[in-house]
Amino acid sequence: ASQHRLWPEIDRISMEQLRYARLGVGEGGWQLFAEDGEMKMYKREEEVNGMVVDPLKACHVVRGVTGHEMCHYFFSPDVRMDWETTVEQMTVIETIADDTLVFLQVHKRIWPASQRDSLFWSHMRQVPDHNDRDGHDIWIVCNHSTENPGFPSNNGKCVRVSLTVCLVCQTFIDPPKEGVPITRDDITCKITYCSVVNPGGWAPASVLRAVYKREYPKFLKRFTAYVIDQCKDKPIMF
Ligand SMILES: CC(C)(C)c1cc(CCc2ccccn2)cc(-c2ccc(S(=O)(=O)CCO)cc2)c1
């Protein structure tokens, strides 16, 4: 992947998003808008040219799965439609590397706004996390809009959204007694999901904010439940 024309951008934005995800929500005007057990969802109300682009940051703690497993299922095109309910169609239009793909997605229409599509690169990587006392690796998937002349945004049918999303996962293991193998009961995964979706064209602010408030908590709960269910009878992917 390192010789691909997009690689410098992919590398830079992935690392920027990792830093952004690890910033706390204490400063920067984040407001808690949804809570469900360990899941806390924050947003900032921001508009760009009158369009709602509210950044979202969700923090969650999931027991019994590793960060590698969470990122594997989030990244994998093969299982995307099993958990992703906001999408009507998904195509991989370019394989840059086995950990870097370009997706074209048609999203379900949010009435009365017109239907949207998104075209983005998606990159997964493991980041050694030395400065964390538990010394556990961090896994990240970063999705960021990109252009492709073969798939112009002015295709007439959909409005092209621009998005930047990252899923940052850190695994914590409560070591069992000496010589006892680690089971899923000893594993906890701390995840931070950040997203900024620019609708790319007019959409009613009140409708969007209501949809985001309802859909994002559902989206994250559904995804995490999916990963737990997929992993429960499989060997642990550290
Ligand atoms: C419904 C709602 C949850 C708010 C929503 C609306 C839209 C765009 C559709 C849209 C936006 C604005 C106006 C009209 N339609 C996109 C998404 C979205 C995009 C990307 C990702 S991802 O995390 O990268 C996983 C790959 O799919 C998840 C969700 C969500």
**DSSP one-letter string for the chain:** -TTSTTHHHHHHHHHHHHHHHHS-SSSSS-EEEEEETTEEEEE---EETTEE---EEEEEEEET--HHHHHHHHH-GGGHHHH-TTEEEEEEEEEEETTEEEEEEEEPP-TTSPPEEEEEEEEEEEE--TTSTT---EEEEEEEE---TTS-S--SSSEEPEEEEEEEEEEEE---STTPPP-GGGEEEEEEEEEEEE-SS---HHHHHHHHHHHHHHHHHHHHHHHHHHHTTS----
At 131, the pLDDT band (50, 70, 90 cuts) reads low
pLDDT attached to residue 196? 97
Question: What does each C-alpha distance from 119 to 26, 86, 144, 152 come to in angstroms?
Answer: 32, 15, 8, 10
pLDDT attached to residue 177? 93
At 135, the pLDDT band (50, 70, 90 cuts) reads low
Work out the average pLDDT over 94-121: 96
In angstroms, what is the span from residue 114 Cα to ligand 1's centroid?
Answer: 13
- Burial call 32-48: b when 16+ CB within 10 Å, e when fewer: ebbeeeebbbbbeeeee
123: β partners: 100, 142
Work out the average pLDDT over 44-65: 95
pLDDT in tens, 215-227: 999 999 999 999 9
Pocket lined around ligand 1, Cβ cut-off 6 Å = 84, 86-87, 105, 107, 110, 113, 116, 118, 143, 161, 163, 165, 195, 197, 199, 203, 208, 211-212, 215-216, 219
d(C-alpha 229, C-alpha 82), whole Å: 12
pLDDT attached to residue 30? 96
Work out the average pLDDT over 121-150: 87
The answer to whether 127 and 138 are in contact (CB under 8 A) is: yes
At 130, the pLDDT band (50, 70, 90 cuts) reads low
The torsion angles phi and psi of 107, rounded to 5 degrees, stand at -90, 155
> What ipTM was predicted for this assembly?
0.92
pLDDT in tens, 175-234: 999 999 999 999 999 999 999 999 999 899 999 999 999 999 999 999 999 999 999 999
pLDDT attached to residue 28? 85
pLDDT in tens, 59-79: 999 999 999 999 999 999 999
pLDDT above 80 (res 155): no
- The overall pTM is greater than 0.80: yes
Q: Look over the chain and give the mean of its residue pLDDT values, rounded to a whole number.
A: 94
Work out the average pLDDT over 165-179: 95
Question: What does each C-alpha distance from 190 to 30, 32, 89, 151, 221 come to in angstroms?
Answer: 19, 18, 30, 36, 14
pLDDT in tens, 17-43: 999 999 989 888 999 999 999 999 999
Work out the average pLDDT over 91-106: 98
Residue whose Cα lies nearest atom 5 of ligand 1: it is 86
In angstroms, what is the span from residue 221 Cα to ligand 1's centroid?
Answer: 15
Q: Please state, for a pLDDT cut of 70, what percent of the chain lies above it.
A: 97
The answer to whether 234 and 195 are in contact (CB under 8 A) is: no
Pocket test for ligand 1, best of 88, 161, 194, 209 (most atoms within 8 A of CB): 161
pLDDT attached to residue 132? 60
pLDDT above 70 (res 152): yes
